[in-house]
Structure 1
Amino acid sequence: MQTSRHRRVAALSLAAALTVALSGCGQAPWDGLDAGGTSSATPTAKATITPIVNDLATGSTRHELTAGDAALTVDYSSSLNMGDWTAEANKPISFSLSAALGTDDGQGVYLSKVSIIPAVSGPTGALDAPATFVDQSSLPTGYVVKAPYSYGQTFVLPAVDSTATSVTLSFTFELLIQTTPTSSTFAKQTASDQLTVAIVP
């Protein structure tokens, strides 16, 4: 009888000791699991940074284009420091164009029209943009652009939306190429190009 009582007391003491030991070990391994046995911890989202393209990061750039048999060299630059290309500033963009023919028998190459369509981008997408720039030659054939001659122009982008992050300029160059050196007939060729410039916050 007394032995049975001693055994009961010993069992109760052991149960109490286990309870104290478990309560002092911190969070149990099964804490934080939902009913399905999986962890309920929420993963931390990582922020992604999208770099902004700036074709004029060094102040100028050269693009090589083709228009039929004509090879075009276009040099772009800005007299405004890239650090000053802010949304509210007037932003000049200058470019010069010259052409060379693959099969050159002495034909003339002329630029009849150039147009630039600006597109403004912000953190959430497209923003309102300035109107299209156009230079239409008043000469019958256009401006002579065959090397050593070239066409040069500067357009000024006005203020844009204060949240703008970049401006992309889409250029279209329309050429007239003389079919023979003495001909009064011309072939029309078109070349397109794009230039993206970052806007300083």
Structure 2
Amino acid sequence: MRRLDIRSSRLAAASVATGLAIVVLTGCGPSPWALQSPTPTVTEPAAVTPTEDVAPPVPNDLSSGSTERRITAGSVTARINYWSTLRMDLWTASALKPVSISMVTRVTPNDGQDVYLQKATMVAVPGNATESFPPLSPQVDESTLTSTPGYLVRNPYSYSQTFNVGQVPAEATFVTLQFTYDYLVQTTPTSKQFAKQTATDTVTVAIAQPAADDEPEETEETEG
């Protein structure tokens, strides 16, 4: 009887040990909170760096040294070349700025009638990106010939002249040159009657800005 009791005790102990092992294995599983979805991360938007306002480029029809135009007034077509003997970096607000022109014309239909330039006018209007300043005094070249009604400008004869742009406001970044040309055209090759035609053109030239090193420096006053 003692042997059976010992065997029964061993079986009971083995059963208890097996139960404990099951409990231990069960306790090793993932915790309930580990199965939950992670908290979403909020990403702050990247800070936008404000961009500095960039001034638009200043137009300059003489940036290459000269410019050629073809303008039409009625039956007259004029080919005009504009240039300056002063370098563009010297076209400052206070400088005397020369503008030269050379002109030749033709007539359509060409029956042999002549074309005369009676008057050429230039008006300089300074300005910048935000405002226009009062125009400078007009410069006029008007024919005073008595033998002809004006300057003969029919090809191959040409007209040349130089106008000057005076001082403009320091705030000006360009100057617009407004040209007006008054022509007299023979009605027939032998006629002493003339028809008047007027043409206009515009040339914009940049005003050179002083370098930063050229700006006056502020001086600090020291006590004696």
TM-score > 0.5 by shorter chain = yes
In structure 2, C-alpha distance between the alignment counterparts of 1:52 and 1:83, rounded to whole Å: 13
5 Å-filtered alignment, 1:36-47, equals 44=50, 46-47=52-53
Question: 1:44 offset after TM fit, Å?
Answer: 3.1
The equivalences for 1:74-113 within 5 A come to 74-113=80-119
Report the Cα offset of residue 49 of structure 1: 2.6
Are 2:85 and 2:99, in contact at CA under 8 Å, matched by a contact in 1?
yes
Q: Contact 2:122 / 2:163 at 8 angstroms: preserved in 1?
A: no
- Aligned partner of 1:127: which letter? F
The question of whether the paired residues in 2 share the 8 Å contact of 1:71 and 1:99 is answered with yes
Task: Give the structure 1 partner of residue 64 of structure 2.
Answer: 58
- TM-score normalized by structure 2? 0.69
User: Once the two structures are superposed, what CA deviation does each residue of 1:164-189 show, in whole Å capped at 9, x if it has no partner?
Assistant: 10000011111000000110101111
Is 1:72 the counterpart of 2:78 in the alignment? yes
CA-CA distance at 1:149 after TM superposition: 0.5
Distance 2:134 2:152 in 1: 35
Cross-structure match for 1:130:
136
Aligned pairs for 1:1-201 (under 5 A) are: 29=42, 44=50, 46-139=52-145, 140-201=148-209
Summarize deviations over 1:19-59 as a string: whole Å, max 9, x none. Answer: xxx9xxxxx9599xxxxxxx9x8983551431111000011
TM-score (norm 1): 0.76
**In structure 1, C-alpha distance between the alignment counterparts of 2:155 and 2:164, rounded to whole Å:** 26
Identical pairs, percent: 43
Q: Retained in 2: the 8 A contact 1:123–1:163?
A: no
Runs of 4+ in 1 over 4 A off after TM superposition: 28-31
Q: Give SS of 1:126's match.
A: coil
Between the aligned partners of 1:109 and 1:182, the Cα distance in structure 2 is 13
Per-residue CA distance 1:138-194 (angstroms, 9 max, x = gap): 125110000111111001111111111000001111100000011010111111100
> 1:135: how far off?
1.2
Structure 2's unaligned 5+ residue stretches are 1-38, 210-224
Moved more, 42-51 or 150-159: 42-51
Matched pairs, number: 167
Letter in 1 for 2:192: S
Two-structure CA RMSD over aligned residues (Å): 2.1
Structure 1: runs of 5 or more not aligned: 1-21, 23-27, 32-38
SS in 2 for 1:125: coil
Secondary structure at the aligned position of 1:83 is classed as helix
Q: Deviations over 1:54-75 (max 9, x none)?
A: 0000111100111111110000
User: Matches of 1:189 and 1:123 in 2, distance apart?
Assistant: 34
Code of the residue aligned with 2:69 in structure 1: it is: H
